[in-house]
Amino acid sequence: MKNKRIELIKGDITRLDVDAVVNAANNSLLGGGGVDGAIHKAAGPDLYKECESLKGCITGEAKITKGYKLKARHIIHTVGPMWYGGYRDEPGSLASCYQSSLKLAKENKIKTIAFPGISTGVYGFPKDLAALIAINETKRFINRHSLPEKVIFVAYDDDNYETYRKLLDQ
Ligand code: ADP
């Protein structure tokens, strides 16, 4: 890992002891499948109540809640783009998810933040391109700001882990 402020781990993001985990939410912010479902299940019903009060979120933007039953103190909910073949500026929207989430983290004095592969599950974004965007946007942000101090990419499977590892070693 060339950048000391970036880490890569394999596993379940709901179990991490960090200041904030990022959720790959949908526009309603009211839960769904994949990592969103896992975060809501682990955090408990009070998360749903706070999410209801937020009145949704636009694609590419992010909103913050408490972490409730998670070890993580906060959850940053960002809405990734669905992949439509690359014709709807999906890369731009995904980049915006990372920028918005990192900005919100900085504003909330978050030191450690963990990201899943936003949009790379049911939203169908190509995993290699998504990892490249995640890494580039993160480097761009942390080069300019001292917070968050540490950004952790969480790969859920071996393939995704290898994709990130290769890009991070370059
Ligand atoms: P999206 O709708 O944004 O595509 P998904 O939840 O379907 O969101 O998938 C996003 C990514 O999160 C996928 O790469 C998936 O493998 C991964 N993922 C699913 N569950 C977890 C988890 N518990 N921890 C970390 N990553 C997860």
Atom of ligand 1 nearest to the CA of 34: 6
The alpha carbon of 117 and the centre of ligand 1 are apart by a number of angstroms equal to 6
The pLDDT of residue 1 is 67
* Residue minimizing CA distance to atom 13 of ligand 1: 121
Active-site entry in 12, 36, 46, 158: 36
What is the tens place of the pLDDT at every residue in 6-39? 999 999 999 999 999 999 999 999 999 999 999 9
The enclosing H or E element of 136 equals helix 127-144
Q: Strand 112-115 and strand 150-155: pairing? A: parallel
Q: Quick one: 125 exposed, middle or buried, by C-beta within 10 A (0-12, 13-18, 19+)?
A: buried
CA of 163 to the centre of ligand 1 (A): 15
Tell me the C-alpha distance between 24 and 26, whole Å.
7
Q: Where are the domains of the chain?
A: 6-169
Which residue's CA is the closest to the ligand 1 atom numbered 21?
A: 35
Predicted confidence pLDDT, tens digits, the chain (170 residues): 689 999 999 999 999 999 999 999 999 999 999 999 999 999 999 999 999 999 999 999 999 999 999 999 999 999 999 999 999 999 999 999 999 999 999 999 999 999 999 999 999 999 999 999 999 999 999 999 999 999 999 999 999 999 999 999 98
Beta bridge partners of 114: 21, 152
Nearest CA to ligand 1 atom 16: 156
Q: Is residue 36 annotated as a catalytic residue, yes or no?
A: yes
| Structure confidence by residue, pLDDT tens digits, 39-53 | 999 999 999 999 999
Secondary structure in 3-state letters for 56-83: CCCCCCEEEEECCCCCCCEEEEEECCCC
Written out in words, the top-level CATH class of the domain with range 6-169 is: alpha beta
pTM, 2 dp: 0.98
Q: How far is CA 132 from CA 28, 69, 108, in A?
A: 27, 32, 26
